[in-house]
Amino acid sequence: MQSIEQDIGCLLIQKGLTLGVVESATGGLISQFITDVAGSSDYYKGSITAYSNQVKICLVGISEDTIRKYGAVSPQVVEQMAESGRKVLDVDICLADSGIAGPGGATQAKPVGIFYIGLSHKTGTFSREYYFKGNRQQNKRAAAKTALSWLREYLLGLDK
């Protein structure tokens, strides 16, 4: 049985697509999972770990106004991360994440464990909201695996 990462690699190759990632709260974990697959250089171009708002703004091209208005952990920001990342990394599909892994950093409106995952492709840019209930490492891993699961689901649905 293949892993999610292997499935994604096969699907990207079959469809002739390239992948990039802009990570915040997962800190490079999505990229690690993808590059754990031998041959991932055939479809994976790279990533930006945009942990700080400054990197999100200056390197990825996220609007400072959007961060100020909605906060870095928001669907608006993660969608901009995915869309801008697709352009900056020159890829067909870009995943992005932002969240509060814990144990600190929470607010009343945004608790520990909240994550937003973004996905951008020529068909559109989308985001999903998730809540995870583990410790910091468990939340990061859950977010990374959830992002990959959504990517696989998206790729499987492309030809339908």
pTM summary value: 0.96
**Number of domains composing the chain:** 1
Q: Each residue of 124-154: b (16+ CB within 10 Å) or e?
A: ebbbeebebeeebeebbbbbbbbbbebbbeb
What tens-digit pLDDT sequence spans the chain (160 residues)? 789 999 999 999 999 999 999 999 999 999 999 999 999 999 999 999 999 999 999 999 999 999 999 999 999 999 999 999 999 999 999 999 999 999 999 888 999 999 999 999 999 999 999 999 999 999 999 999 999 999 999 999 997 5
Cα–Cα distances (Å) from 158 to 30, 58, 73, 121, in that order, read 21, 32, 28, 10
- Gyration radius (Cα) of the chain, Å: 15
Q: Which domain holds residue 28?
A: 4-157
Read off the CATH number of the domain in which 69 is found. Answer: 3.90.950.20
